[in-house]
Structure 1
């Protein structure tokens, strides 16, 4: 049963609204044989330092949010920093940095946005206080490899199937997903956003925009 079957709001809202497809809302889908717990173990074995790499829209942010509660359960105090385009330095108060210790897990989403000096200072701050450092980037930044996110048409179809309420599944076809996946060159985030309009057109434009 699709979780949306039990959610009345899902039946009157567009399942591709931002509130449903946000990386903080959508769980990262692991391939068989791997799960978030294994990645936490791998990170622990690397003394809590590591990188998650992958192309745009492949689930890096969703994965970091999926890992956060497990890191907390492992005794880590997560300090999540999200960097957007053109942000060259972290906006972290010195008071916050002073509180970092061996239980702190600094997590930086979009690490490649940082300038060289900011990266050096971040690593120095983490090492001097014994804090862990987990980052996401589009290519390797030289930290121990924790995971590499990838996209596929099969994964895209699974994501769409999870989002669609059973009663509305016919509004998005397998061909719709295939075309959107190809048009956005495998970027799952952009693909899901593009399906919003397709769903709206077949719903008569009655659904809200969340």
Structure 2
């Protein structure tokens, strides 16, 4: 299968919206307001934290709140100080900072960030564990949620039992699950071709008596 035809290609996966297992957008936004614009989106890898943060940025912007995005991952760790200062250097005073990957900041970097952003109208982070800011929402996944997302992208392509096994294999990390489904779809046509009978693939050969 060509990449552009794969239902699990990146641009298709990015069309998936965050689904609340409990609560709603109104509840989340009200919680942010009650916590003076500060809080943490908590959850393990692949639980939808970044997807939720992306949508939060859009909703805050639509209601007139300027936002400034910043993201860190494992590859940033050796240069976190430099990246942190660069990311916050042009931070507008009136903007709410949305920081994805706060677990990459060490204690000193975190204390510096709290001091540097003390004047801002808000600071929302994503992190794997609670504790640094009051929790806004605890993100997690379920097998049913995974099956629903797959059905949205490629209806009827994979049986629920296969998806359940894949979900368990990746410990509920939907990012890894969807990436593996992309790989499976990429080789599906090749597998079908390879399983054809060689005799059926060749023209009939006749021989004179």
User: TM-score by structure 2 length?
Assistant: 0.80
Deviation at 1:182, TM superposition (A): 1.1
Stretches of structure 1 that go unaligned for 5 or more consecutive residues are 1-11
- Runs (4+) of structure 1 exceeding 6 A deviation are none
In structure 2, what is the equivalent of residue 163 of structure 1?
153
Question: 2:55 aligns to what?
Answer: 66
Q: Secondary structure of the residue that 2:156 maps to in structure 1?
A: helix
1:21 equivalenced with 2:10 (yes/no): no
Tell me the CA shift for residue 93 of structure 1. Answer: 5.6
Let me know the Cα RMSD of the aligned residues. 2.3
Distance 2:68 2:51 in 1: 16
Structure-1 separation of matches of 2:48 and 2:33: 22
- Structure 2 unpaired stretches of 5+: 193-209
Q: CA deviation at 1:170?
A: 3.4
Work out the CA distance in 1 between the residues paired with 2:58 and 2:147. Answer: 27
**What is the DSSP-based 3-state SS (H/G/I as helix, E as strand, rest coil) of the residue aligned with 1:108?**
strand
Pairing 1:181–2:167 present: yes
Aligned to 1:151: 141
Q: Counterparts of 1:119 and 1:26 in 2: how far apart (Å)?
A: 31
SS state of the match for residue 6, structure 2? coil
> Which of 68, 91, 99 is matched with 1:108 structurally?
99
How many Å separate the matches in 2 of 1:138 and 1:45? 23
Contact 1:51 1:136 in 2 (8 A): yes
Matched residues in 1 for 2:21 and 2:124: separation? 21
Alignment of 1:113-152 (within 5 A): 113-127=104-118, 129-152=119-142
User: 3-state DSSP class of the match of 2:41?
Assistant: strand
Query: 2:176, 2:88 → 1: CA distance?
Result: 36
Q: Is the 8 A contact 1:86 1:113 kept in 2?
A: no
- Map Cα deviations across residues 74-124 of structure 1 (whole Å, 9 max, x no partner): 321111101111423314366513x323xx110110001012222111111
Tell me, in whole angstroms, the C-alpha distance in 2 between the residues paired with 1:175 and 1:78.
42
